[in-house]
């Protein structure tokens, strides 16, 4: 198995930028968000479990996941969120481990906003937390997502506290606009390449 790095952090911290830098350095990166979306469409195990637990209407007549229906089903209901996550997360974790083996690379990374919540920290050799001040994170997310500060703060309320991310990190990458992100990522990646 390759050496596996988990990249995580709060909304707007810069996880995707760190992932892009690693890719430019030749490190394959598994993007959990996009892969989970793909697997929710393609995985028979996820489809069967969602239909059984949520209902047949979670997929439309063309067998496409009805994301709006699923979002409405989960909205504001922690038990339903946990149910869906309990179906999706194990499949994503298994897919990541399969992908990591098949890359043939010495070092791989996985980007996940919910690395700890999904238990993927157990699958990696090191966790890199991307950290930025709250105000910077809010501004980035508002601009990137075309949303409001209130909506971003609401999403932040569903994530771990910054102090918890930092406490659980093996390495912290400061993305505050003052520290060189390229230098930090380059220094860390050279240690394992």
More confident site: 59 or 182: 59
Average pLDDT value for residue range 174-190: 80
CB 18 within 8 A of CB 132: no
- Of 9-13, 47-51, 155-159, 182-186, the poorest mean pLDDT is in 155-159
Query: Which pLDDT score is estimated for 93?
Result: 95
Summarised one tens digit per residue, pLDDT across range 73-95 is 988 788 998 999 999 999 999 99
Query: Which pLDDT score is estimated for 120?
Result: 95
Token output for 80: 């339903």
Predicted TM-score (pTM) of the model is: 0.86
Separation of alpha carbons 116 and 124, rounded Å: 11
Query: Which pLDDT score is estimated for 193?
Result: 47
Summarised one tens digit per residue, pLDDT across range 16-65 is 999 999 999 999 999 999 999 999 999 999 999 999 999 999 999 888 99
H or E segment to which residue 3 belongs = strand 3-8
Summarised one tens digit per residue, pLDDT across range 136-178 is 888 888 888 888 888 888 887 778 888 899 999 999 999 888 8
Average pLDDT value for residue range 102-130: 94
pLDDT confidence bin for 190, thresholds 50/70/90: low
Query: Which pLDDT score is estimated for 137?
Result: 85
Pick from 5, 11, 55: which is nearest to 33 by CA? 11
pLDDT confidence bin for 192, thresholds 50/70/90: low
pLDDT confidence bin for 191, thresholds 50/70/90: low
Axis crossing angle, helix 134-145 with helix 149-156, rounded to the nearest 10: 120
Separation of alpha carbons 108 and 106, rounded Å: 7
């Amino acid at each position: 198995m390759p050496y596996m790095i988990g990249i995580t952090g709060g909304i707007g911290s810069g996880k995707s930028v760190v992932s892009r830098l690693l890719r430019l350095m030749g490190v394959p990166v598994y993007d959990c968000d996009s892969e989970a979306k793909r697997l929710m469409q393609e995985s028979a195990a996820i489809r069967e479990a969602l239909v059984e637990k949520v209902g047949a209407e979670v997929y439309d007549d063309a067998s496409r996941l009805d994301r709006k229906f699923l979002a409405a089903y989960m909205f504001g209901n922690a038990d339903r969120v946990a149910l869906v996550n309990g179906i999706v997360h194990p499949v994503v974790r298994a897919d990541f481990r399969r992908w990591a083996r098949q890359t043939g690379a010495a070092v791989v990374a996985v980007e996940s906003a919910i690395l700890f919540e999904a238990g993927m920290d157990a699958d990696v050799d090191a966790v890199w937390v991307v950290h930025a001040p709250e105000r910077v994170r809010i501004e980035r997310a508002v601009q990137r997502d075309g949303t409001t500060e209130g909506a971003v703060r609401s999403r932040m309320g569903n994530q771990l506290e910054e102090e918890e991310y930092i406490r659980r990190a093996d390495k912290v990458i400061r993305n505050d606009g003052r520290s060189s992100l390229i230098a930090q990522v380059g220094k860390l990646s050279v240690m394992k390449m």
